[in-house]
Amino acid sequence: MMNPILRIFSLWTRFWGWLMAAVLLSLAALLANVTLSLYSGRFLALGLLGMMLAVPALLPLVGTARVVLRYFERVVGHEAIFRALANLRVWMFEGLAASAAGGLGFRRAGDALSRLVNDVDTLDGLFLRLMVPLLGALVLVPVVAAVLWREQPAALIVLLALVVIGFYLPVLTARAAGENAAKAGLAMSGLRTSVLDMLHGLREVKIFEAEGRMLAVIQAREAALLSAQRELTHKGSALNAYGFLLAQAGVLAAIMLGFTGAKVPAVAAVLVLGVAFEAVLGLPRAGLLYGQAKAAAARVVQAAESAPLVSEPVSPAPMPSRNAIAFEHVAFRYAPDRPYVFEELSLQVAQGTRVAILGPSGAGKSTIAALLLKLHAPEQGQVRLGGTDIAQLPTEAVRHRIAYLGQTTHLFADTIRHNLLIGDPAADDAALWAALEAAQVADVVRALPEGLDAWLGEGGATLSGGQGRRLALARTLLMNAPILLLDEPCAGLDSATEQEFFRVLNAATEGRTVLLILHRLTGAEQLDRIWRLTAGTLVAAAG
Amino acid sequence: MSTHSKPWVKAEQKLGFRAARVPIALGAAGTLCAIAQAAAAARLLAGVLHLASGGAALAAAGAGFVAAALARAYLALLAERQNFELGAAARRRLRGQVLAALLGLGPAGLRGRHSGELAATAIDRVEAMDGFHARWVPATALAVIGPGLIGLVALHTDWRAGLVLIVAGLFVPFAMAVAGIGAALAARRQFLAMTRLQVRFLDRIRGISTIVLAGRAREEAASLREAADELRVRTMRVLRVAFLSSTALDLAAAAAMILIVVRFLGVVRGDEALAPIALFMLLLVPEFFAPLRAFSAVYADRMAVEAVADEFAALPTLPPPAKPAEIRSVAAHGVLLSFDHVSYGWDEARPVFDQLSFRVGKGEILLLTGASGAGKSTIMDLILGFVEPQAGKITVNGASLEALVPAARAKMIGWIGQKPVIFAGTIEENIRFGNPAASDTELADAVRWAHLQELVNNLPKGLQTQVGEGGFGLSGGQAQRIAIARAFLKNAPLLLLDEPTAHLDPATERDVLESLRHLALGRTVVLATHSSMAMDFAKTIGARRVDLDALRYTSWRE
């Protein structure tokens, strides 16, 4: 596999103009700095010897150029990196949407996804803190070599220190960070798991007096994380100290050589070396960043570019006009080493009928939804839509036919309006209110002072669980799809609301095909057919 | 940052500076070494120009240079490690506070809050405070101390050059203030906008399957791109001004350098006494500005605090646990529970129940029924002590529940809810969660009575199978059996069953109820349910019933 950092850089070809401008400005500022110290060293020495009495006009000129160039270096560098980062985020979003991660979110994997987002943030220092100074060092070495050759050839030996600081120490820090990244990452996810465990199980923790035990586990994980970070800090600080000492040794060597050669060039050489060392001393630290960024980039690239679990048909069949659903002798398991969820599952849902699938949790009800939505493909058998095998149909077109409400449907940290518009971006206010009425949540929204423009917290935190479910249902009803696939739509609703909900659903979905996935019936559903899922097969129940 | 988080930030700052004394002292010592090193280098350079005499003095300067460089390297290494410890200690302290607050609030206090969001405070927001304590606090102190020390030495050595340095140094904050007050305010808002964009991105990624399955991936990608572009344009407008303050720093350094050259240029003329001083002053210029540069480099660490301060400030500070008026224990065998005119409502407009009274005798079973929202779980929370009654009294064997020490109350009560939480760990660890001190025989009995034997036998690793996050996925019925085994192991005289079969299919429900029958023997039981099978089960073991719907109906009519 290609080095993931290079892969990230290759994404940024569109911004090469900006990136190159930033690099060139930075190099120009660095060269101005070298020139400045070269001339000021010379003039200073001459002045001290009484051979020059006024500051030559050249000096303030170069000094001003340096200040101005540095300003534009900062501005252009940030402009470039903002463009590149925005692009990286959108690229990752599109990549995840197209790849397996769509299915990843289907099962609760929010935390794995959040970690990926942190990884993207880790990449933001790559350009300004690593790439630019590294290119600077590459240019600096021959320039400084040329200057020293002219002023004091013997001082060339000092370049060795410069090369070690600029190119060898960063490799060492990068290696240390790379080795440490896995350890720190493991410790971090351990800490996260134990904190989430405590929060999910707070009731159990209190009732079983486990506060002390849980805190002890969390503190142990935290200590592991800190010790991994401490180890890296210790290595990094030692390498920094070596770098500093090398630079000082270089300067001292240049001074000593000055006693043997011409006096004025010696002073100039010392000042130039001072600037050169200052420019590379940050690089060992940037090496740390490289080590961490490489691990992060590998995860990001892998997640964004992994192939989808269900591949697109090479020559897709035309979309069928009808919307009947049929599962024919479907065998499926999540992985070759996992047991079969179904070995021979068959199911017919005629167009415009209402069908419920009942079954205990863990029986594979949601897997039926995943197969129908093309998140997974059956190992054997076929899933047909309007008579055509969905493997032959484009995934997006199939999903456009199906309005799906899942158990882990996400409410976005946005306004209620925007949350609803995900169902149908073209819907007007009247349509939004109609959907809210149908989902029995219009009263709740009307009671909010900002109405449709009320802000929902992360994960819908400003609503109760039941209200959030109903809002998600309203969004699903807005999708104008001929098939409704509802996975436990009433979780979190009390029984009176649940019954009312089904009455409304029956009216709102007249003529549509409805597939309900439930663990028990309330009696209010008007169903054409009820299937019970046990031991991987569907058995017709009364109805 | 809102106004109510300001005191919190102030307090953190105070704590930070107090804790950072050692690394700040190390930094100051480093500055002193830098001064010594500059003096030695100046003498050496003067020697190169044949403007300093004495081979011995030059050798001493060379030795001084080496010693000062070694000391500086060592001090910097120590300071870096100490800074890490500052950040580590602050994170440990903050995380401890957050976890204590969450534990103190308990499940009732955290009702309706997203556990992922709370975990983000305990983990990511705590980590975000690292830069503030480990970098910003020491850098801020040294931005005053470092230039201050160097300025004093410079004044003492040559007052004209020293004055130039100090004036240039004071120009930096002055220029930052003039060019940057507006910009800094805008930058703060901008930083928050940037954080919000990151949050938005995170939120969209977490909900990506919802977007994909709704077929809206393209629209959302476009709107993300638009938001990022808009933010970039606005941010750059601010940064173009904000960078001027860095430019002011560059400018001040350059001006100081030139003015010092001008000051000495005409007067040195080969003067052996003045030349090393002139060189010393010039070498001090970069050292003088280095701490100021370091300070402006940690600006983002300070800004990061603004983004998280609200969440920390919003955490409740726990009152010190009030000593119960009378501490008493309750007999271990047999519990009589009674509610005496108890009222409770989540807010004033919505009372859950009013003046509720009932009694459950030793070894008796009480069946609580009613629609969801009628108050079944609230009654459980009242008994568990997660909420306090607004009126009335709950007693256990005649003693008021509030008078019991929390540990004694917890020992007395066993509980099984709708969806037991399975922790990341082995099955055995999950069962022993009920009582870590249980013997192996007790564990084996609990496994048998909870009908877990069959499951355990079928797993290759048996009781040592990993479950919970990243482990073997248990079905609802299997998880519920683990909860029953926990309750067996805890062996508490009062057993609360809160819809223990709500998420189970009929066959599994029958099995679980069978295990519960055994568990209920000899204990005082409160069973809340709206499953008809569970109600029938309660009747067969002689339960009395309280129908909360009927109660409410009556109280409304009155």
**A365 in the same domain as A293:** no
**A337 in the same domain as A287:** no
- For A15-26, write each residue's pLDDT tens digit: 889 999 999 999
Q: What is the pLDDT of residue B133?
A: 96
In this prediction, what percent of chain A has a pLDDT beyond 70? 92
- Alpha-carbon distance of A329 to A382, in angstroms, equals 7
- Averaged pLDDT for residues A466-471: 79
Lowest mean pLDDT among A167-176, A187-196, B14-23, B199-208: B199-208
A313 domain-assigned: no
A312 domain-assigned: no
**A182 in the same domain as A43:** yes
**A440 in the same domain as A537:** yes
End-to-end CA distance of chain B: 50
User: Does the pLDDT at position A172 exceed 90?
Assistant: yes
A381 domain-assigned: yes
Confidence of residue B327 (pLDDT cuts 50, 70, 90): very low
**Is-contact A123 A89, C-beta < 8 A?**
no
* Contacts with B268 from chain A: Cβ below 8 Å: 47-48, 50
**A172 in the same domain as A52:** yes
Q: What is the pLDDT of residue B189?
A: 66
Confidence of residue B187 (pLDDT cuts 50, 70, 90): low
Enumerate residues 6+ apart whose C-beta is below 8 A from B327: B403, B404, B405
* Parallel, antiparallel or unpaired: strands A483-487 and A402-405: parallel
**A391 in the same domain as A292:** no
- Which of A237, A270, A304 terminates a domain? The answer is A304
A66: domain range? Answer: 4-304
Residue/partner pairs of B154-157 with CB below 8 Å, 24 or more apart: B154/B281, B154/B284, B154/B288, B157/B277, B157/B280, B157/B281
Nearest CA in chain B to A29: B250
- Which of A304, A335, A366 terminates a domain? The answer is A304
A206 domain-assigned: yes
User: Does the pLDDT at position B558 exceed 50?
Assistant: no
* Contacts with A251 from chain B: Cβ below 8 Å: 41
**In sequence order, what DSSP letters do the residues of B28-49 get, joined into one string?**
HHHHHHHHHHHHHHHHHHHHHT
Identify any residues that bridge with A530 across adjacent strands, giving them in sequence order: A356, A541
Confidence of residue B153 (pLDDT cuts 50, 70, 90): very high
User: Does the pLDDT at position B316 exceed 60?
Assistant: yes
Q: What is the pLDDT of residue B162?
A: 94
Give chain B's mean pLDDT.
84
- For B274-311, write each residue's pLDDT tens digit: 888 999 999 999 999 999 989 888 877 887 887 788 88
Q: Is B423 on the interface with A (CB under 8 A)?
A: yes
Identify any residues that bridge with B526 across adjacent strands, giving them in sequence order: B366, B496
Q: What is the pLDDT of residue A526?
A: 77
- Alpha-carbon distance of B426 to A89, in angstroms, equals 38
**Is-contact B21 B86, C-beta < 8 A?**
no
A319 domain-assigned: no
- For A246-305, write each residue's pLDDT tens digit: 999 999 998 888 888 788 888 888 888 888 998 888 898 888 888 888 888 888 888 888
Hey, are the CB atoms on B225 and A86 less than 8 Å from each other?
yes
- For B407-465, write each residue's pLDDT tens digit: 788 888 999 987 788 888 889 999 999 888 899 999 999 999 888 888 888 888 889 98
Interface size, chain A vs chain B, as Cβ–Cβ contacts under 8 Å: 361
Identify any residues that bridge with A348 across adjacent strands, giving them in sequence order: A326
Q: Which of residues A189 and B242 earns the better pLDDT score?
A: A189
Q: What is the pLDDT of residue B322?
A: 56
Q: What is the pLDDT of residue A243?
A: 94
Asked casually if ipTM beats, i.e. exceeds, 0.90, the reply is: no
Q: Is B488 on the interface with A (CB under 8 A)?
A: no
Helix count and strand count (H, E) for chain B: 21, 11
**A179 in the same domain as A149:** yes
* Contacts with A203 from chain B: Cβ below 8 Å: 107, 384, 386, 415, 417, 421
* Contacts with B371 from chain A: Cβ below 8 Å: 494-496
- Averaged pLDDT for residues A161-185: 89
Considering only CB atoms, A208 lies closest to which of B72, B224, B490, namely: B490
Here the CATH number for the domain that contains residue A285 is 1.20.1560.10
Q: What is the pLDDT of residue B113?
A: 66
Hey, are the CB atoms on A110 and B279 less than 8 Å from each other?
no
Q: Among residues B198, B75, B86, B70, which one has the least CA distance to residue B138?
A: B86
Enumerate residues 6+ apart whose C-beta is below 8 A from B257: A40, A63, B282, B285
**In sequence order, what DSSP letters do the residues of B148-179 get, joined into one string?**
HHHHHHHHHH-HHHHHHHHHHHHHHHHHHHHH
- For A94-152, write each residue's pLDDT tens digit: 888 887 544 554 444 555 666 677 788 788 888 888 888 999 999 999 998 998 888 77
- Averaged pLDDT for residues A89-97: 87
Q: How many Å is the Cα radius of gyration of chain B?
A: 35
User: Does the pLDDT at position B87 exceed 80?
Assistant: yes
Q: Is B507 on the interface with A (CB under 8 A)?
A: yes
Q: Is A479 on the interface with B (CB under 8 A)?
A: yes
Q: Is A93 on the interface with B (CB under 8 A)?
A: yes
Q: Is B460 on the interface with A (CB under 8 A)?
A: no
Confidence of residue A233 (pLDDT cuts 50, 70, 90): very high
A309 domain-assigned: no
φ, ψ of residue B318 in degrees (nearest 5)? -80, 135
Here the CATH number for the domain that contains residue A355 is 3.40.50.300
User: Does the pLDDT at position B329 exceed 60?
Assistant: no
Tell me the three state secondary structure of residue B466: strand
Lowest mean pLDDT among A45-59, A68-82, A325-339, B119-133: A45-59
Confidence of residue B180 (pLDDT cuts 50, 70, 90): low
Tell me which residue has tokens 């939505």: A373
- Which range among A227-231, A463-467, A533-537, B107-111 has the greatest average pLDDT? A227-231
- Which range among A145-154, A372-381, B149-158, B247-256 has the greatest average pLDDT? B149-158
Interface of A with B in 191-230 (CB under 8 A): 191-211, 213, 215, 218, 222, 226, 229-230
User: Does the pLDDT at position A228 exceed 90?
Assistant: yes
Considering only CB atoms, B115 lies closest to which of A200, A266, A414, namely: A200
**Is-contact A240 B77, C-beta < 8 A?**
yes
Interface of B with A in 263-292 (CB under 8 A): 264-266, 268-270, 275, 278-279, 282, 286
A57 domain-assigned: yes
Nearest-Cα distance to chain A for B441, in Å, is 20
Lowest mean pLDDT among A118-127, A398-407, A479-488: A118-127
Nearest CA in chain A to B277: A48
- Alpha-carbon distance of B189 to B183, in angstroms, equals 10
> How many Cβ atoms from other residues are within 10 Å of residue B514's Cβ?
11
* Contacts with B459 from chain A: Cβ below 8 Å: none
Interface of A with B in 504-523 (CB under 8 A): 519-520
- Alpha-carbon distance of B95 to B319, in angstroms, equals 18
* Parallel, antiparallel or unpaired: strands A529-534 and A354-358: parallel
Nearest-Cα distance to chain A for B394, in Å, is 18
Q: What is the pLDDT of residue A219?
A: 95
**A413 in the same domain as A377:** yes
Q: What is the pLDDT of residue A543?
A: 46
Token pair of A104 as six digits:
């990843």
**Is-contact B344 B351, C-beta < 8 A?**
yes
Q: What does the CA dihedral B486, B490, B492, B496 come to, rounded to 10 degrees? A: -20
Hey, are the CB atoms on A361 and B476 less than 8 Å from each other?
yes
A269 domain-assigned: yes
φ, ψ of residue A355 in degrees (nearest 5)? -130, 140
**A211 in the same domain as A76:** yes
Residue/partner pairs of B222-225 with CB below 8 Å, 24 or more apart: B224/A89, B224/A90, B224/A93, B224/B200, B225/A86, B225/A90
**A260 in the same domain as A337:** no
- Averaged pLDDT for residues A166-187: 88
List of domains in chain B: 11-314 (1.20.1560.10), 337-557 (3.40.50.300)
Identify any residues that bridge with A327 across adjacent strands, giving them in sequence order: A347, A383
- For B491-543, write each residue's pLDDT tens digit: 899 999 988 887 677 778 888 898 888 888 889 999 998 788 888 888 888 77
**A143 in the same domain as A86:** yes
Domain count within chain A: 2
Q: Is B318 on the interface with A (CB under 8 A)?
A: no
Q: What does the CA dihedral A125, A129, A132, A136 come to, rounded to 10 degrees? A: -170
Tell me the three state secondary structure of residue A345: strand
Confidence of residue B320 (pLDDT cuts 50, 70, 90): low
- Alpha-carbon distance of B149 to B143, in angstroms, equals 10
Hey, are the CB atoms on A105 and B219 less than 8 Å from each other?
no
- For A336-358, write each residue's pLDDT tens digit: 766 788 888 899 899 988 899 98
**A424 in the same domain as A514:** yes
- Alpha-carbon distance of A298 to A1, in angstroms, equals 10
Q: What is the pLDDT of residue A101?
A: 46
Q: Is A404 on the interface with B (CB under 8 A)?
A: yes
Q: Tell me how many degrees the CA angle B528-B531-B535 measures, rounded to the nearest 5.
A: 70
Lowest mean pLDDT among A453-462, B150-159, B175-184: B175-184
Tell me the three state secondary structure of residue A405: strand
Residue/partner pairs of B293-298 with CB below 8 Å, 24 or more apart: B293/B249, B294/B139, B294/B142, B294/B143, B295/B139, B295/B140, B295/B142, B295/B143, B296/B245, B296/B246, B296/B249, B297/B139, B298/B131, B298/B135, B298/B136, B298/B139, B298/B140
Give chain A's mean pLDDT.
85
Cα dist. A207→A456, B170, B447, B468 in Å?
A: 32, 61, 20, 19
Q: Which of residues A388 and B227 earns the better pLDDT score?
A: A388
Q: Which of residues A103 and B194 earns the better pLDDT score?
A: B194
Q: What is the pLDDT of residue B150?
A: 97
Token pair of A414 as six digits:
């946005």
* Contacts with B115 from chain A: Cβ below 8 Å: 196, 199-200
